[in-house]
Amino acid sequence: MSNSYRELIRDEVRELPFYVPGKPIEELRRERGLTNVVKLASNENSWGTDPAALDAIIKFLPDIFRYPDSKAYDLRLTIAASLGLKTEQFVFGNGSEEIIKLIALAFFRAGDEILMGKPTFPRYSSVSKMMGATPIELPCNNGYYPLERILDCITIHTRAVFICNPNNPTGTVLEEEHLREFVSRVPENVLLIFDEAYYEFMEIPFSGLLFLEEHPVIVLRTFSKAFGLAGLRIGFAISSSELIDGMERVREAFNVNALVQVAALAAWKNREYLQQIIAANAVERRYLTNELEGMGAKTFPSQTNFVMAFFPGMGTRLSEQLLDKGIIVRPGGGFGYPDGLRITVGTREENSMLLTALRNIITNKVT
Distance of CA 254 to the CA centre of its chain: 22
Determine if 249 is a binding residue for a copy of itself (CB under 8 A).
yes
Nearest to 303 by CA among 286, 322, 325: 286
Q: What's the closest the beta carbon of residue 108 comes to a copy of itself, in angstroms?
A: 8
Q: In whole angstroms, what is the distance from residue 111 CA to residue 128 CA? A: 10
Piece of 91-99, 148-156, 328-336, 345-353 that binds a copy of itself (CB under 8 A): 91-99
Determine if 135 is a binding residue for a copy of itself (CB under 8 A).
no
Is residue 140 within 8 Å of residue 174, measured between CB atoms? no
Q: What's the closest the beta carbon of residue 69 comes to a copy of itself, in angstroms?
A: 5
Q: What's the closest the beta carbon of residue 66 comes to a copy of itself, in angstroms?
A: 5
Determine if 255 is a binding residue for a copy of itself (CB under 8 A).
yes
Q: Which residues pair with 163 in a beta bridge?
A: 194
Q: Among 114, 174, 258, 292, indicate the residue that binds a copy of itself (CB under 8 A).
A: 258
> From the DSSP assignment, how many helices (H) and strands (E) are in the chain?
14, 13
Nearest to 311 by CA among 333, 326, 328, 327: 333
Closest to a copy of itself by CB, 212 vs 355, is: 212
Closest to a copy of itself by CB, 115 vs 174, is: 115
Closest to a copy of itself by CB, 47 vs 311, is: 47
Q: Which of residues 142-161 bind a copy of itself (CB under 8 A)?
A: 159
Determine if 27 is a binding residue for a copy of itself (CB under 8 A).
yes
Piece of 167-175, 240-248, 334-342, 354-362 that binds a copy of itself (CB under 8 A): 240-248
Pairing of the two strands 330-331 and 306-310 = unpaired
CA angle 216, 134, 175 (to 5 degrees): 45
Which residues contact residue 237 at a Cβ distance below 8 angstroms, ignoring those fewer than 6 apart? Answer: 90, 91, 93, 96, 99, 102, 103, 218, 219, 220, 221, 244, 247
Q: What's the closest the beta carbon of residue 264 comes to a copy of itself, in angstroms?
A: 12
Q: Which of residues 64-83 bind a copy of itself (CB under 8 A)?
A: 64-70, 73
Q: What's the closest the beta carbon of residue 218 comes to a copy of itself, in angstroms?
A: 10
Is residue 310 within 8 Å of residue 339, measured between CB atoms? yes
Q: What's the closest the beta carbon of residue 49 comes to a copy of itself, in angstroms?
A: 5
Q: In whole angstroms, what is the distance from residue 332 CA to residue 272 CA? A: 34
Count of positions on this chain that bind a copy of itself (CB under 8 A): 81
Closest to a copy of itself by CB, 55 vs 175, is: 55
Q: In whole angstroms, what is the distance from residue 106 CA to residue 89 CA? A: 15
Q: In whole angstroms, what is the distance from residue 133 CA to residue 112 CA? A: 5
Nearest to 157 by CA among 201, 104, 206, 114: 114
Determine if 257 is a binding residue for a copy of itself (CB under 8 A).
yes
Determine if 242 is a binding residue for a copy of itself (CB under 8 A).
yes
Determine if 97 is a binding residue for a copy of itself (CB under 8 A).
yes
DSSP 96-120: HHHHHHHHHHHH--TT-EEEEEESS
Determine if 107 is a binding residue for a copy of itself (CB under 8 A).
yes
Q: Among 171, 228, 331, 346, indicate the residue that binds a copy of itself (CB under 8 A).
A: 228
Q: In whole angstroms, what is the distance from residue 23 CA to residue 326 CA? A: 11
Q: Among 186, 259, 323, 358, indicate the residue that binds a copy of itself (CB under 8 A).
A: 259
Determine if 177 is a binding residue for a copy of itself (CB under 8 A).
no
Q: Which of residues 306-325 bind a copy of itself (CB under 8 A)?
A: none
Q: What's the closest the beta carbon of residue 21 comes to a copy of itself, in angstroms?
A: 5
Piece of 95-103, 136-144, 305-313, 320-328 that binds a copy of itself (CB under 8 A): 95-103
Q: Among 37, 40, 89, 108, indicate the residue that binds a copy of itself (CB under 8 A).
A: 108
133: helix, strand or coil = coil
Determine if 31 is a binding residue for a copy of itself (CB under 8 A).
no
